[in-house]
Each structure stands twice: as C-alpha cells, then as structure tokens.
Amino acid sequence: MNSPTRTGHDTAGSHTGESHTAGPLTGVRVLELGGIGPAPYAGMLLGDLGAHVIRVDRPQDAGLDNPAPVLHRGRRSLTLDLKHPDSTGIVRALAADTDIVIEGFRPGVAERLGVGPDTLLARNPALVYGRMTGWGQDGPLAQEPGHDINFIALTGALHAIGPADTPTVPLNLLGDMGGGGLLLAFGVVSALVTARARGAGQVVDAAMSDGSASLLAMVHGFLAQGRWRDERAANTIDGGCPWYGVYRCSDDRHVALGIGDRRSYAALVEVLALDGDPAFADQYDRAAWPAMRGTLTDVFAGRSRDEWAKVFEGRGACVSPVLSLAEAPEHPHNTARGTFRTGADGGIEPAPVPRFSGTPAADPGPAPVVGAHTDEVLARAGYGPQAIARLRAEGIVR
C-alpha cells in the first residue's frame, strides 16, 4: 500500500479530549502494544495517574466488550493488525508523538513486526521503550514460554510461601503484577525523568523473574544474616510462628494475626487472658511455639470471626478479620479512604494509587469497547479520511 495521505499534525492539539484532567502524569503520552496481564497493569497504573494511554488491540476483536474491564480502564482503543507490514508506519507515526511505548512480546517479536525500539527511537530519540517479559531480553530462558508461577519458581519466591509440605500459589501477585507490571511502570517513569532531562530515551528491560527476585530483598538480607531458615513455615513471617498467621473461627471464617513486636504480643496475651499460661511467657521461645499454636487454635475456634473482630477492636493486638473480595470494599476503613470505587459498569474495583497531595488523580474512565477510538487515534496521528478508509478496506484496522 502506498503511504497514506496525511493531514496537518498539530502536536499541541493532538491530545484534546483526554479522559484525564488531573494526576501527576497528566500530559504524558503512552502507547500500549496489546498484551495481557502485567503490561496492561502497567498501562492502568500510568493511566490512573493521568497519562493518556492508547492501547493497540487486535482487529478481530473490534466491537467486542472489553475483556479486562479494570486493567484496561481509562484507555483509548485502536484496532491494528501488527502482523500486516503497513501497520509499521502507523505505529511509527503514533510513537513519534509519544513519551512511552510498552509491549509484552517475547524477545525479538517486536523487531520482526517492525515496531522494535531501534525503529521507534530512530523516529523519536527521546522515547522510552518499556519491554515486559517473564525471563528478560537475554539469558538461556529468554525465548522459553512461561507464566507467573514459572517465573517465581526460579527466583525462590514460590519455594518460600506456604505450609511446610508444599508451596502455595500466591495468585499472580508476585510475578505478573508486583514483579512485572509495577516494575515496568516504575521503570518507564524513571526513564522518562532522564529522557526529559537529557533528551535521550532508552529501553527498559522489565522481567518478571527479576522483579520477583527484587521483592525478596528483605528475606535475602535475613538469610545472609542467619536470621532466616531456607524452608517454608519455619520463620516469623512465613507462618512458622504461632503469632503471625491465620486461625479458623467457629463460623469457618478466619482471623489474621500479624504480631511483630512485644507490645502487640502483650496486647494479644492480655485480651485472650493467657497471662498465666507458661507457653506464652516468651514470645520468641521456639520450643513453646507448638503449645502456643495449639492453644490459639482452640481459643479462636470458640467464636465467630466478626465476634473476634469486635473483641480486638482498638486493643492494639494486630488481629484482623480475613475479608473476602466482596467484603473488603465494605469495611469502614476502606470506605473512609476510598480504597475501592464503583466502576462505570457498576462493579467494584480498586481506586488509583498512590495518593498525591498536590496533583490528585481523577477517577479513571471506563474500559472502552475494543476499537472504539480507532478513527480518532488515526486522525490525531495525521491520517486523513481517505487514508483511514484504505486501512479499513485492507483489514489493517477496524
């Protein structure tokens, strides 16, 4: 296909009508090249704080309800067949007026599609190009497939979590989200600071394996000091001690004990009237831990979760009810802080974080119908009506 007819490109006016008018990243432009899980989570975090995020979706999904209504909130959606050679020019045009590009392809795929960092940085030298993978851009496993559980398995994180007999799968919080999407968002914003100071962009290599390893920084410090046993349920914060863990109540719900100091331990003993029990004389006496755990198991089984919550309210013992996903938004503390919000579809979702005193974030807009902004985005990139019609006719966009 010949080069499309271009309209005049007004940078100052090319981002009018953005869904955000507040937040510390207002004015930052992000292009998100598809992906699932961690890369969209990074896009959500950036968009929540005011960035203008355009997401590239597959043409075959055009017109469908958004498959990830929370992760994709606040975006513009452009459908584009990245496998078509003529799509390269569109991505280049968009990247020319963009601060950050994020992608979650395996190493080398973006280059084969013609939208790799060398290509886009040649057009926009100040561009920050964020790459989200499981294993990183290099290393013996770089081309191997995997998911969250695989990445945290090789960093020791999975080994460290769960009861003594088997590791516990911690959802996809450590690899995909914390070690992946959050790391990518932090990385591209850090690189953006440098780009704006020096006028030079760079590539950010964010790997979920690297990120989950970084999340273990404190544990590795303890291990190096001889203060951590390299086994599950054998340490103070991994369920190994009786005063840091979860107990079943009479209604088959649970309370969580997070006692990490002598003051809260003393409050626990006082509330439960265990002052005279010799097993509770020394918080750190490992020999007494089995007896301590047995007593606490029996005691907490005697009342319901909510009864225990009332008993411990305001006592400083660090005992909390374990709330379900549906219950958590109704807790008075979460309600008072607005930790959760009602989305455009009426569902409950987490509110933007963190909070800023001078540039508070606005409420994020809804996740768009896939492809809802295709014409709008192309027009802003300089494509006229005839050029857009040709792109549609050839199936490059929908």
Residue owning tokens 């992760």: 71
3-state secondary structure of 77: strand
**Separation in Å, CA 25 to CA 17, 58, 195:** 16, 27, 15
Closest CA to 51 of 80, 79, 32, 29: 29
Other CB atoms within 10 A of residue 138 CB: 11
Measured CA angle at 257 (ends 253, 261), to 5 deg: 175
Give the pair of three-digit tokens for residue 318: 């660090």
Burial, 99: exposed, middle or buried (Cβ in 10 Å; 0-12, 13-18, 19+)?
buried
Preceding peptide of 354 cis, ω within 30°: yes
**Separation in Å, CA 392 to CA 65, 78, 189, 291:** 20, 12, 34, 71
d(CA 132, CA 38): 7
Q: State the amino acid at position 123 in one-letter form.
A: R
d(CA 50, CA 27): 7
Give the pair of three-digit tokens for residue 209: 């394996």
Measured CA angle at 35 (ends 169, 374), to 5 deg: 150
CB of 133 closer than 8 Å to CB of 106:
yes
Exposure of 16 in the CB half-sphere (CA atoms within 13 A): 7
The H-or-E segment that residue 325 falls in is: none
CB of 163 closer than 8 Å to CB of 231:
no
Residue 377: which residues within 8 A CB-CB, separation 6 or more?
54, 76, 78, 94
Catalytic residues: 147, 176
